[in-house]
Structure formats: structure tokens, C-alpha cells
Amino acid sequence: MNSRTRSTSSAGQPPGAASGSYYEHEAVPQAAGGDMVFVNLFRAPPGEPMRYPSTYAV
């Protein structure tokens, strides 16, 4: 396993819960194909990883 690889548990999430966010993620050209989970989709700069304070609020 790569030292930068992280895994998360999806326990308690309904099957397919991430599919909606996947399609939103892929609809933003700057974010499409990226491997970051929390990226700016609706604010500038699009496709850039979100900063900790923003992800903490999520």
C-alpha cells in the first residue's frame, strides 16, 4: 500500500450513496478524473482540494 493511500469506512451509508457525488465530481472538468474526494466544485478554484476548515464544516 502506498504511504499516501487512505481508506475510509462506508459503514452506515446506503449502497450507491457516493454515486451522486461521483457524477457531480466528474461534471466539473477541472475535478474529473482526480483522486481527491473533497474538491471545490461550486467555488473558485474548481477542482482544487478543499482546505481543512471547509471540509470540517462538511
Q: Which residues neighbour 8 within 8 Å (Cβ) at sequence distance 6 or greater? A: none
**Is residue 55 within 8 Å of 38, Cβ to Cβ?**
yes
Task: Judge contact between 25 and 32, C-beta under 8 A.
Answer: yes
Q: DSSP assignment, residue 18?
A: H
Mean pLDDT over 37-50 rounds to 87
What is the tens place of the pLDDT at every residue in 4-40?
A: 666 666 666 666 666 677 788 888 899 888 888 788 8
C-alpha cell at 37: 474526494
Domain range summary for the chain, segments of one domain joined by +: 19-57
Q: What is the pTM of this model?
A: 0.53
Contact call for residues 42 and 53 (beta carbons, < 8 A): no
Helix ranges restricted to H, 2-51:
17-27
